[in-house]
Amino acid sequence: MSENMQARMAEATRLTQEGRLNEATAMIQSALGNNAPPAGSNTGADGFDFPIDVTSRLVGGTQQGPAAPWRGAGLGPDLFAQTAPNLRTRGVQHPPGSPFAKTAGAADVGDDERFFARSYSGAAGARSYKLYVPEGYAGEAVPLVVMLHGCTQDPDDFAAGTRMNALAEEHTFLVAYPAQSGSANMQKCWNWFQPADQHRGQGEPSIIAGITRQVIEDYAVDEGRVYVAGMSAGGAMAAIMGATYPDLYAAVGVHSGLAPGSAHDMPSAFSAMRQGNPGVPMPKVGSNGRAEIPPTVVFHGDRDGTVHPRNGDRLLANLTAGDGSSLKVSTRQGRVPDGHAFTRISYRDTEGRSVVERWNVHGLGHAWSGGGRPGSYTDPKGPDASAEMVRFFQQHAREK
């Protein structure tokens, strides 16, 4: 990044902090100049372009792509009401005060009522989140998957696009969807690029870990089978969660994300998104003294014009650094019928388990591979990232 661009981005940061968003947006657009991604770099499955303005991600702007409808009981997407419907859970007992508990006279309103709004508050702050409890959950210990949405998204949108709840029904696991607040980031991006939100025990990692632990405390969760995954800014934050809480998460899924430490402010965030900055060493030691990064599966489209595909390679390099000689590498190429081709590189340990996977989806833009409509930023023509992540997670359990 040139000195001139660095100066402009620093000024944009200052204007944003002062609430002068229109001026900040104009400054960023001026700084980016003619470096916009080529037309068609975010071509959707329907063959039309929906270019994503990276300016809107951190400063302001409108949501791009088709928006998912709110799936709650007549509430708008910013209202996370605590509900207490009748959950058909085959006799499961919910903790006292849980919004999952049945109230007198509550009606049986169907499967969508297994998707509940909750909230968490801790020393680093508070966030709402939604939790999906599959019908097969009967109080026995089951896995938990934590899903971190991308910019402008919310839990309902992300659940609709990834279709992770359907997989939860099939395989019987809980799914938690933390919701980034507009007060923390105007476009509801997880602040993966802020130093205060990149370390264990502080900022947003502390909040996400707190949500995870709250679900573990309130429900029967197999603590050795807790996983975290995310898309875009959520993917970058998922990678940070794996690096900073290896004692909490058994495996990680990163879709269209970036390596931990690849940015430390807004200018470096833009630089990383556009060209793929290397990550920097980060603390990787949990409370039990373990230093390894959890097994990780990485998805990225090679036509991603928002987060450069090189970021997937940067993350792969970080994950395999120092372990390459002990891992067996294999490559598989394939194609989804009437869809995108892909290349999968697997790094297997001595027991034959895939500990790192890198999926390069050819022709995919900035979208969840194999995702469904009406969720935003999805491309149904790619391999099913959600199903592949669940398969990958099932291979790994953390020692308790």
- Other Cβ atoms less than 10 A from the Cβ of 276: the count is 20
CA distances from 267 to 17, 59, 216, 310, 387 (A): 14, 12, 37, 18, 35
Check if 232 is active-site.
Answer: yes
Q: Which of 308, 155, 175, 164 is nearest to 232 (CA)?
A: 308
Q: Which of 133, 136, 105 is nearest to 117 (CA)?
A: 133
The amino acid at residue 39 is: A
- Other Cβ atoms less than 10 A from the Cβ of 15: the count is 19
Task: Write down the residue that tokens 């980060």 correspond to.
Answer: 282
Query: Residue 152 in 3-state DSSP?
Result: coil
In the set 41, 56, 128, 232, the catalytic residue is: 232
Per-residue pLDDT of the chain (400 residues; tens, 9 = 90+): 455 555 666 666 666 555 555 556 555 545 544 333 333 333 333 332 223 333 333 333 333 233 222 222 222 222 222 222 223 233 333 444 443 333 222 223 234 679 999 999 999 999 999 999 999 999 999 999 999 999 999 999 999 999 999 999 999 999 999 999 999 999 999 999 999 999 999 999 999 999 999 999 999 999 999 999 999 999 999 999 999 999 999 999 999 999 999 999 999 999 999 988 776 654 443 444 444 789 999 999 999 999 999 999 999 988 887 655 678 999 999 999 999 999 999 999 888 888 999 999 999 999 999 999 889 999 999 999 999 999 999 999 998 7
Q: Which of 84, 75, 68 is nearest to 116 (CA)?
A: 84
* pTM, full prediction: 0.75
- Other Cβ atoms less than 10 A from the Cβ of 153: the count is 31
> DSSP code of 121?
E
CB-count burial class (<10 Å; 0-12, 13-18, 19+) for 18: exposed
Task: Write down the residue that tokens 């058994």 correspond to.
Answer: 250
Do residues 231 and 239 lie in contact, with contact meaning Cβ atoms separated by under 8 Å? no
What CATH number has the domain spanning 39-394?
3.40.50.1820
Do residues 216 and 226 lie in contact, with contact meaning Cβ atoms separated by under 8 Å? yes
The pair of three-digit structure tokens given for residue 233, joined into one six-digit string: 């800014």
